[in-house]
Amino acid sequence: MADKENILITGAGSGIGRAAALRMARGMHVIAADLNADSAAETVSMIEADGGSARAIPVDVSDKASVTSMKGRIEKDVGSVDKAFFAAGIYIRGIVCDISEDHWDRMMNIHVKGTFLCCQAVLPDMVAANKGVIVNMSSDFAVMAVPAAAAYMAAKSAIYSLTKSIALEFAPHNIRINALGPGPIDTPILQSGRSPQEYEDARLMLADKLPVGRLGQPEEVSAVLDFLLSDRSAYMTGQIVHPNGGQLMW
Ligand SMILES: NC(=O)c1ccc[n+]([C@@H]2O[C@H](COP(=O)([O-])OP(=O)(O)OC[C@H]3O[C@@H](n4cnc5c(N)ncnc54)[C@H](O)[C@@H]3O)[C@@H](O)[C@H]2O)c1
């Protein structure tokens, strides 16, 4: 889109990624990328119904060929990527001795390799433009400990480290990269692997433990994302920012 900046959002078919896509579409052309092509297309329909412009692209962020193909389609359809939010992710609970090799590999491949491949895909455009902003999706769990989440925590810590490393490397190119580290946000990911009753119990337990007494909403994360993507955060790079209801306080 010649008249608007292009923002690439992965995980745009659900939860935080979808809320981000809807918010960012108020000023930018959204490229809604997701493993689930139907849900990405649904996000695009919601944006268009609201008067915005968007296109859906299916991608498996853990697969280099798929990320390369996504980038190729973006180049052909809209040109370059100006801003990016990499939110694709999964959550699988498991205590250390029960974590299978497949569980570990999926966690690392989708979160860490996926974030790396997506950053690698968009950075050359940004270097050429001598500007750009990326926000990666980490978690409170990058810097705090909870039971039964070793692989997820290791992956989210790695995303935070990756964010700092890329921020340092690309600051001379006028490219800023920060990470979001949300606390519990009420999205489908919290329901995965839980029965409806287990989910309700977990929701109440989490709300009880949080200082603000409730789970966050995806729109509350995209409000912070909006700030990180804008010039209002021009002096911030390599940081992790926590919309977390006070779950973690520094
Ligand atoms: N909800 C929370 O409490 C919470 C807290 C901290 C961090 N996060 C992180 O926020 C991100 C978004 O989570 P959410 O809560 O919106 O969950 P969600 O399940 O609603 O959305 C995740 C999206 O990622 C997509 N996805 C999964 N694997 C993919 C792949 N290989 N390639 C492309 N897309 C893929 C899914 O199809 C889905 O649309 C995740 O990285 C998650 O780890 C969530």
Each residue of 82-113: pLDDT tens digit? Answer: 999 999 999 999 999 999 999 999 999 999 99
Q: Mean pLDDT across the stretch 167-193? A: 96
Ligand 1 contacts (CB < 6 A) are 10-11, 13-17, 34-36, 39, 59-62, 87-91, 110, 114, 137, 139, 182, 184-185, 187-190
Report the separation in Å between the CA atom of 137 and the middle of ligand 1, taken as the mean of its atom positions: 9
- Ramachandran angles phi, psi of 180, nearest 5°: -95, 140
Q: In what order do the strands lie in the sheet with 6-10?
A: 54-58, 29-34, 6-10, 83-86, 132-137, 175-180, 240-241
Q: How many residues does the chain have?
A: 250
Check: pTM over 0.95? Answer yes or no: yes
Q: What angle do CA 87, 92, 93 make, to 5 degrees?
A: 130
What is the reported pLDDT for 211? 97
Packing angle of the helix pair 218-229, 15-24 (nearest 10 deg):
50
Asked if pLDDT for residue 5 goes beyond 70, the answer is: yes
Q: Mean pLDDT across the stretch 67-72? A: 98
- Tens of pLDDT, residue by residue over 22-36, are 999 999 999 999 999
- Determine which residue's CA is closest to atom 2 belonging to ligand 1: 185
Asked if pLDDT for residue 168 goes beyond 80, the answer is: yes
- Determine which residue's CA is closest to atom 28 belonging to ligand 1: 89
Looking at the DSSP assignment, which residues form a beta bridge with residue 137? 180
Classify domain 6-186+218-241 at the CATH superfamily level. Answer: NAD(P)-binding Rossmann-like Domain (3.40.50.720)
What is the reported pLDDT for 48? 98
Report the separation in Å between the CA atom of 88 and the middle of ligand 1, taken as the mean of its atom positions: 5
Asked if pLDDT for residue 193 goes beyond 90, the answer is: no
Residue type, 80: S
Q: Cβ distance 229 to 168 under 8 Å?
A: no
What is the reported pLDDT for 3? 85
CA 136 – CA 225 distance, rounded (Å): 10
Report the separation in Å between the CA atom of 115 and the middle of ligand 1, taken as the mean of its atom positions: 12
* Catalytic annotation present for 152: yes
- 29-34/6-10 β-pairing: parallel
What is the reported pLDDT for 2? 59
Asked if pLDDT for residue 176 goes beyond 70, the answer is: yes
Mutate to test the pocket of ligand 1, among 18, 23, 66, 90 (most ligand atoms within 8 A of CB): 90
What's the mean per-residue pLDDT of the chain? Answer: 97
Asked if pLDDT for residue 1 goes beyond 80, the answer is: no
- Determine which residue's CA is closest to atom 41 belonging to ligand 1: 89
146 confidence band (pLDDT: 50, 70, 90):
very high
CA 202 – CA 215 distance, rounded (Å): 11
Q: Mean pLDDT across the stretch 229-249? A: 98
- Tens of pLDDT, residue by residue over 116-144, are 999 999 999 999 999 999 999 999 999 99
Mutate to test the pocket of ligand 1, among 86, 136, 189 (most ligand atoms within 8 A of CB): 189
End-to-end CA distance of the chain: 41
Q: Mean pLDDT across the stretch 70-83? A: 98
